[in-house]
Chain A
Amino acid sequence: MTKDAGEDAAPERELPGRLERRAPGQWELYRKTGESWELSASPGFARTAWRREEGWAARWWDRGGPRFAAASSAEALRAALEDGARYAVADEPPPEWPTRVVAAPPAPAIEPPPALFAELARAVAASSRGECTLVRLTLRRGTTRERIENGAGLDVALARAACDGVATAVGRRGGRAREVRVAFQAADPPPIDPLARRLCDAAVLPLEEPAAPPARGQWLLDPAVGAALLAGLAPVFTSERPPVWIARGSLASPEVSIADDASGDSPFDGEGVASRRVLLVDEGRLAAGLYDLRTARRTGRASTGHGVRPSFRSPPGARPRRLFFETSSPRPAAELLASVTRGLYASALTAPVRVDLAEDRFEVEFTGVSVIAGRARGPIPGARASGRISELLHRVRALSGDVQFFPMPFAAGAPTILVERANFD
C-alpha cells in the first residue's frame, strides 16, 4: 500500500501478511484516503469545513463465513481483525477473487468550492417571481484515492475528484409554505439555471390552490421523478431471486430497456472487478442481474462489477452504480406531452417514492400540472399515484431520449416517461 508522509509504516506493511496467515488466499484489504472542502451557506451564515479522512477495511473468510473490519488507521485495523475473529460464523464459501494489477496517478489537488449562494439565490428568485427563496446551499469538492489488494494477487488503485451538493429552498404564497431539498452531483461548478428551475418547480407548485386530480389518466413523469422510481425498483436487479410477479421474465413494456454502466466513472468496482455495461431489461424482458463477488458465488455466476462500498465502514454489497432507462425508439419530450389526452405531469416528488417489491405495490406522491389534449391546464399541488409495479411498468408507452442523472445516492438516470394509464388520488 502507498505510504503518506508522517504515517507509521509498520502496521500497514504488516497487514497483508497478517491477513494471509489468518485466511490464506481468502482476504481483501481496502484503503481510502480523501480530502474535501465543503462550503455551506445560508442567509447571514457561512460554514467552511476541511476534512482529511483515512479509512481501512479488511474482509476475510476464516473458520466459516465472512468477517469484516473497518478502522481509521492501519494500527486500529490490526486490533479490529482480532475483534472480528472472536465470533463463530455460519459457513459460506469464499468468493472467486479477481486478480490484476493497476496503478493509479496521484489524487489531484483541490481548492475550496466557489461561493455560489448569492448567484443561485438570485436565479431561484427570478425563476419563481419571488415566491421561492434559497435558504441553504452546501457544495462539496473532494478527491479520493482508493487501493484494493487481495489474497489472489489483486492490486488496483484509483484516484478521482468529485463535486456534489444539496440546495434547500422554501416556497411561500400567502399562508402556505413548502420546503424542498435537492441533491445534485454535477459538473464543477454546477449549472445554476437548471438547479434553480428544479428547486422552484418542487417548492412553488405545491402552493397552488388545492385541486383534485383526475381519478385516472395518462401519467407523464419528469426525469427527476422517473429516476426516483427507477431507484426504488433497483433491488429487483440485485436480489438473488426476482419477485414472483415478474412473470416469465417480462418486467415492462417493450419500449423499456434498463442498463447499468459505470465504466465511464471508474474502471473497477469496490472489489477490484472491472466495470462494464450490463443490459438488465431488454425491451421489457428481465435479461440480467447485478452481482458482487459474494452474490455471484452464491448464484453460480460471475461478478458483473457491482460490488459497491458506500464508505470504507461497510463491506461491499451488490448495488447499482449508474442505472438508467433507455429505449430503442426515443421520442421528443414535447411530443410525449402533446400525446397526453387527459392526465397529469409529475414535475417533482413531494415525498420519497415507496416501493414494496414483495407485494408488487408502489406509491408516488408528487406535484405537477394537469394536462388535457396536450396542453397544461392547471397546477396540481399534490397527488398520489399508487398501484401495482407490474402494471405500471407494462403501461409505459414511450420514453424520450433526454436522460438526466440524479444522485439516489447511486446515479439513476431517466428521460421523460409516458405511462398510458395510472390511478391518482
Chain B
Amino acid sequence: MHWDEAAVTRWLEPLAARPGELADVFGERLREVSLDWRDGQIHEVRVRREDGVGARWRYQAEERLAFVAGTGEASVREAVRALRSAAGREPLPIRAPRTSAADDEDASLEAERWTRRLTGVFGRHAPRHRFLWRSIETERRVVAAGVPAATSRRRLVSLEGRFTAASRHGDEERTIAFHAPDADATPDELRAALTAAAAPRDRPVDVEAGDTDVVLGGGCAVVLFHEILGHALEADASASPLSALKDARVAVAELDVTDDARRLDLFGGYERDDEGTAPRPVKLLHSGHLGARLTDRAHARPGGSTGHGRRAGPAEAPMPRCSNVVVPAGAATSDEIARRVNDGLWIEEFRGGSVELSNGTFRLRFPRARRLRRGRFTEEIGPGVLAGEILAALKNVEPVLGRESRTCRSLGWCARDGQLVPVQGAAPDVLIRHLAVRPAL
C-alpha cells in the first residue's frame, strides 16, 4: 500500500474541519490460504488475495462510509471522492491514477512450510480426519485526519474440523478448533492440542438439567468473561446491565479481568487498532469492581480511545470491540479447586457462546464435561448448555483461582452484527457456583 500520506491527509481535511468530526481511510491487503485436509492428503486448495479501501466520515449522530476494491492510490481517491460527495463537501477532482511502486508480493504465507509440518502432525496424532487449515495474513493501514498514520501486520493460523479418536468404548468422532498467531512455537502448541484432544475418554452420559457448581478449566473461563464482561463493556452497548454500575463491586476482590490487545501471542492481539490507535490494556474488572469501557474514537472518553476500534474489513465501519480477555492467575492448584466442589462439573471447552445484553443473560455450549463428586472426577458427561445471568454469575465466582493462566486456543473469532474479528484470551481455573445447566445436541 504505497500511498502518499500527505496527499490522503489533505483529501480528508475538508471532512474533519469542525471539532468532533472524524475522517479516515482504512486499507487492507489480505492473503489467505485454506487447505482442506482429509486423512493426510490435501483435497482442495483455496487461495484468496483481497485488497480494499474504506473511507469514513463521522460527526455526531451521522456516519458515512465508502468502500472501493483495491488498495492503490486510485482506489483511495475514489473512496474519498465518494465520501466527500456523500457528506456534501466539495468533491475531489478526478485525476488519472499515478503509477505506484509495485507492492511486495512476498506473501507465500509460509503455507508450504506448514504443509510439511502438518503432514507429520496429523499422521501421528489424528490420521483419520477432515480438517480445514487456514493461514491468514493481513496488512492494514490507516490514514486519519489529525492522527498519525499507522500500519500493522498480522499472520494467523487456524485449524478446525473433525477427527476419529480411539476411545475406551471404540472409535469416536471428535472436533477440534485451534487458533493462534503464526509463531515459532505454534506447531508445537498445535501438536499438544491435538494430542490432548485425541486422549482416550469414557462414554459420556447425558447432562441432568438443574443448578450446578462449575469449574471452568483449561483457560475456557475466557469465553465466559468475553461474553459477560467484554461485550457488556463495549462502549456502544447501551442496553448493557453494567451500564449504570460504574465502579460497583460485582465480584470477589480476588478477580481481575483485563482486555489486553497488546498481547501479540494471542489470536486477538494487534499493535494498532483499525483507527490507527495504539491499544492500551483496559481493566474490565479491578479487584471485583467494574472497570472502564472499551472505546473507539467515536465513543472515546476525554482520555482518548482505548484502541478497541475494530473492523471486520475495509467495507465495514469500526466498532468498539473486545480483543484478548486476560485473567491473572491465583494460587490454587487444580486439585484444590476440585476439592471445593461437592457436586458439579469441570468444563474445559466451549463450542460457542452468546450474551443477550437487553436482559443480562448468557449461554455457553460445551461439547463435554467431567462430573465432580465430593471433589473427585467421576463420569464424562455432555454435551450441554450452561446459562445464567451476568451479575449473578459474577457474584458467584469463588475467591480462589488456579495458579496457571492458560491460553484458550479454541476461541478464535467473535461475531457481532455480522462482523467477525479475531479474539482470544488466557485464564486460570475459575469456580462459579449455581449456574444453570441442561442437555443439548
Using a CB–CB cutoff of 8 Å, the interface residues on chain A facing chain B are 6, 44-55, 65-73, 76-77, 79-80, 83-84, 86-90, 92, 135, 166, 170, 172, 176-179, 313-315, 354-356, 359, 361-363, 386
Contacts and interface: CB of A to CB of B under 8 A. Distances in A.
Interface in B22-50: 33, 35, 38, 41-50
Query: Among A47, A67, A355, which residue has the most Cβ atoms of chain B within 10 A?
Result: A47
16 contacts: A47-B64, A49-B317, A50-B65, A51-B66, A66-B45, A67-B47, A68-B45, A69-B47, A69-B48, A80-B47, A87-B42, A170-B358, A176-B359, A179-B358, A179-B359, A363-B441
B70 A72 contact: yes
B271 interface: no
B356 A179 contact: yes
B307 to A, nearest CB: 22
A68 B358 contact: no
B43 A89 contact: yes
B119 to A, nearest CB: 10
B82 A50 contact: yes
Given A48-B86, A49-B67, A177 B47 contact: no
B64 A49 contact: yes
B69 interface: yes
A6 B317 CA distance: 27
Interface in B53-102: 61-70, 74, 78, 82, 86, 97
A84 B356 CA distance: 42
Contact of A179 (B105, B107, B239): B239
Nearest to B40: A90
B243 interface: no
Contacts of A6: 74, 97
A92 B357 CA distance: 48
Contacts of B43: 65, 89-90, 92
B275 interface: no
Contacts of B38: 90
A53 B79 CA distance: 12
B51 interface: yes
Range of interface residues on B (Cβ < 8 Å)? 35 or more
Contact of A71 (B50, B115, B440): B50
A177 B238 CA distance: 14
Interface in B182-226: none
A47 B317 contact: yes
Given A45-B61, A72-B69, A87-B35, A80 B48 contact: yes
B52 interface: yes
B45 A48 contact: no
B44 A53 contact: no
Contacts of B33: 83
Contacts of A68: 44-47
A356 B41 CA distance: 27
Contacts, number: 149
B47 A50 contact: no
Nearest to A361: B441
Contacts of B63: 45-48
B315 interface: yes
A25 to B, nearest CB: 20
Interface string B93-125: 000010000000101100110010000000000
Given A83-B108, A178-B358, A73 B69 contact: yes
A50 B48 contact: no
B440 A363 contact: yes
Query: Among A68, A70, A76, which residue has the most Cβ atoms of chain B within 10 A?
Result: A76
Nearest to A8: B97
Contacts of A361: 441
A48 B88 CA distance: 13
Contacts of A73: 51, 69-70
A65 B315 CA distance: 33
A67 B33 CA distance: 11
A57 B440 CA distance: 39
Contact of A88 (B42, B44, B82, B359): B42
Contacts of B105: 79
Given A50-B82, A67-B47, A83-B107, 7 more contacts: A49-B65, A52-B78, A65-B43, A70-B46, A79-B49, A89-B41, A313-B50
Contact of A76 (B49, B111, B112): B49
Contact of B47 (A53, A65, A70, A386): A70
B47 A72 contact: no
A10 B223 CA distance: 49
Contact of A66 (B35, B44, B48, B441): B44
Contacts of B70: 54, 72-73
Interface in B114-142: 115
Given A44-B61, A45-B61, A90-B42, A83 B358 contact: no
B358 A67 contact: no
B66 A49 contact: yes
Query: Among A52, A54, A68, A166, which residue has the most Cβ atoms of chain B within 10 A?
Result: A52
A354 B363 CA distance: 15
B418 to A, nearest CB: 8
Nearest to B35: A87
A389 B315 CA distance: 40
Contacts of A54: 69-70
B52 A87 contact: no
A72 B51 contact: yes
A47 B65 contact: yes
B67 A84 contact: no
B441 A356 contact: yes
A230 B108 CA distance: 42
Nearest to B209: A425
Contacts of A71: 48-50
A53 B69 contact: yes
A52 B49 contact: no
Contacts of A178: 356, 358-359
Contacts of B115: 87
Contacts of B44: 65-68, 89, 315
Contacts of B74: 6
A53 B45 contact: no
Contact of A72 (B49, B62, B78, B356): B49
Contacts of B67: 49-53
Contacts of A77: 49
A-B interface, 6 closest residue pairs, ranked by CB to CB distance from nearest: A179-B358, A90-B41, A49-B65, A51-B67, A54-B69, A177-B358
Contacts of B317: 47, 49
A270 to B, nearest CB: 15
Contacts of B78: 52
A404 B302 CA distance: 50
B47 A83 contact: yes
Given A48-B64, A50-B66, A177-B358, A84 B45 contact: yes
Contacts of A354: 440-441
Contacts of A49: 64-67, 315, 317
A55 to B, nearest CB: 8
Nearest to A294: B44
A324 to B, nearest CB: 25
Contacts of A45: 61-63
B61 A76 contact: no
B363 to A, nearest CB: 8
Query: Among A45, A72, A80, which residue has the most Cβ atoms of chain B within 10 A?
Result: A72
